[in-house]
Amino acid sequence: MTFTLHTSETASPEGRAELEQSLKAFGFVPNLHAVLAEAPNVLKAYKELHTLFQGGSFNNEELTVVWQTINVENECGYCVPAHTGIAHMMKVDGVLIDALSKGTELPAAKLQTLKDTTLALLRQRGHLQSSQLEAFTAAGYENQQLLEILLGIAQKTISNYTNHLANTPVDAPFQKFV
């Protein structure tokens, strides 16, 4: 199955409206958005999940840990470089960015616990052991953050799986992070 990178000319009226919002927000239409314009309700949901996740309690480093942990685990060839570039734009420390991309130990124990918990939620499909929950709370996190990881997983599931299906090309601004 071949997916279309939609433009204002090829998208439905609803998809066109979403793509125009993306253009205003980013200065270009990310290829992921161009693919998702095929189903405007999915593009809208993805963008809303993104906004909600960013509006939660995590700081930029923590957002990056959750996003990149999921992207790397799901082997998303589009999202790993895209979120590497986004992390740089968010002024996240390069040491953390590199560790996440390479799958190595993170520079801070609290962030490592966030990564470990995110991975456990993914791999164990939400069935955390009491020792995993205890480690998460001992690191300073609470139930709110546990639920917010699920929001990040929902967002990244849409993007990672879409990119797997569509083989979405990496956008020019993120090519250097491939």
Q: Where are the domains of the chain?
A: 59-177
Torsion of CA 51, 54, 114, 119, to 10 degrees: 20
CATH class of the domain comprising 59-177: mainly alpha
Residue 1 confidence (pLDDT): 77
pLDDT at position 110 over 80: yes
- Residues 92-101: what's their mean pLDDT? 96
pLDDT at position 91 over 80: yes
Task: Determine the Cα–Cα distance for residues 146 and 57; give it in Å rounded to an integer.
Answer: 11
